[in-house]
Chain A
Amino acid sequence: SQQGEEDPQALSIQEGENATMNCSYKTSINNLQWYRQNSGRGLVHLILIRSNEREKHSGRLRVTLDTSKKSSSLLITASRAADTASYFCATVETGANNLFFGTGTRLTVIP
Chain B
Amino acid sequence: NAGVTQTPKFQVLKTGQSMTLQCAQDMNHNSMYWYRQDPGMGLRLIYYSASEGTTDKGEVPNGYNVSRLNKREFSLRLESAAPSQTSVYFCASSDPRGGNLKETQYFGPGTRLLVL
Which residues, 19 to 60 on B, are CB-close (under 8 Å) to A?
Answer: 31, 33, 35, 40-45, 48, 50, 58-59
Find chain B residues with CB under 8 A from A33 CB: 103-104
Nearest-CB residue, chain B, relative to A104:
B42
In angstroms, how far is the closest chain A Cβ from the Cβ of B86? 16
Binding site for B on A (CB under 8 A): 1, 3, 30-31, 33, 35, 40-45, 48, 88, 90, 92, 97-104
In angstroms, how far is the closest chain A Cβ from the Cβ of B92? 8
B106, CB-defined interface residue at 8 Å: yes
B90, CB-defined interface residue at 8 Å: yes
Given A3-B44, A97-B96, A100-B45, 6 more contacts at CB 8 Å? Answer: A3-B42, A31-B103, A43-B107, A45-B106, A88-B42, A90-B43
How many residues on chain B are close to A (CB under 8 Å)?
25
Binding site for A on B (CB under 8 A): 4, 31, 33, 35, 40-45, 48, 50, 58-59, 90, 92, 96, 103-110
Interchain Cβ contacts within 8 Å, total number: 56
Cα distance, A30 to B4, chains bound together (Å): 25
In angstroms, how far is the closest chain A Cβ from the Cβ of B55? 13
With A41-B110, A45-B104, A103-B40 as contacts: A98 and B58 at CB distance below 8 Å: yes
Cα distance, A92 to B107, chains bound together (Å): 17
A interface, by DSSP: helix, strand, loop or mixed?
Answer: strand
**Residue among A48, A102, A104 making CB contact with B104, cutoff 8 Å:** A48
- A1 engages B59 (CB within 8 Å): yes
Find chain B residues with CB under 8 A from A88 CB: 42-43
- A98 engages B109 (CB within 8 Å): no
Cα distance, A35 to B42, chains bound together (Å): 11
- A97 engages B42 (CB within 8 Å): no
Nearest-CB residue, chain A, relative to B110:
A42
In angstroms, how far is the closest chain A Cβ from the Cβ of B50? 7
Find chain B residues with CB under 8 A from A92 CB: 103
- B42 engages A103 (CB within 8 Å): yes
In angstroms, how far is the closest chain A Cβ from the Cβ of B43? 4
Cα distance, A102 to B107, chains bound together (Å): 16
**Residue among B40, B45, B104, B108 making CB contact with A42, cutoff 8 Å:** B108
